[in-house]
Amino acid sequence: RAQETAELIAKYLPEDLPVKNCQLIEEGAPIQPEPPVAHWQPELKQFFQDSARIEAGYRRYFHRAPPDQAKDTYTLLVCHANVIRFFVCKALQFPPEAWLRMSLNHGS
């Protein structure tokens, strides 16, 4: 669904902007949520697999600009809510296991 949404958004952006698919930010279980929830309990191994991948995605897209960068740059990420919530926690320096405590509407 996120890839389909990105394709729709790309139709309204300048044609010279690159659109890339990134496996690092695909849907997954970023870290065991605290408190745990009964309605969503992936196998423990899924957290270990997804956590490293999603963390690598965060590090790829969220970083300080190089000192010699002369102008602002922008990256538009279109991904699933689990990944977005985890990224928000990391960016705001909240405990990453709190990612499931916030709600996020589809397409927001």
Residue 80 is assigned to a structural domain of this protein: yes
Residue 43 is assigned to a structural domain of this protein: yes
| Predicted structure pTM score | 0.87
Q: With 90 as the cut, is the pLDDT of residue 3 above it?
A: no
Q: What is the pLDDT of residue 76?
A: 92
Residue 108 is assigned to a structural domain of this protein: no
Q: What is the pLDDT of residue 106?
A: 84
Categorize the per-residue pLDDT at 16 as very low, low, confident or very high, splitting at 50, 70 and 90.
Answer: confident
Q: With 90 as the cut, is the pLDDT of residue 17 above it?
A: no
Categorize the per-residue pLDDT at 80 as very low, low, confident or very high, splitting at 50, 70 and 90.
Answer: very high
CATH code at position 96: 3.40.50.1240
Residue 106 is assigned to a structural domain of this protein: no
Q: How many domains does the chain have?
A: 1
Residue 78 is assigned to a structural domain of this protein: yes
Residue 82 is assigned to a structural domain of this protein: yes
Give residue 84's Cα distance to chain centre.
4
Residue 85 is assigned to a structural domain of this protein: yes
Span 18-72, pLDDT tens digits: 889 999 999 999 999 999 889 888 888 999 999 999 999 999 999 999 999 999 9
Q: Tell me the helix, strand and coil percentages in the chain, rounded to 5.
A: 45, 0, 55
Consecutive H or E run containing 31: none
Residue 81 is assigned to a structural domain of this protein: yes
Domain range for 33 is: 2-65+72-101
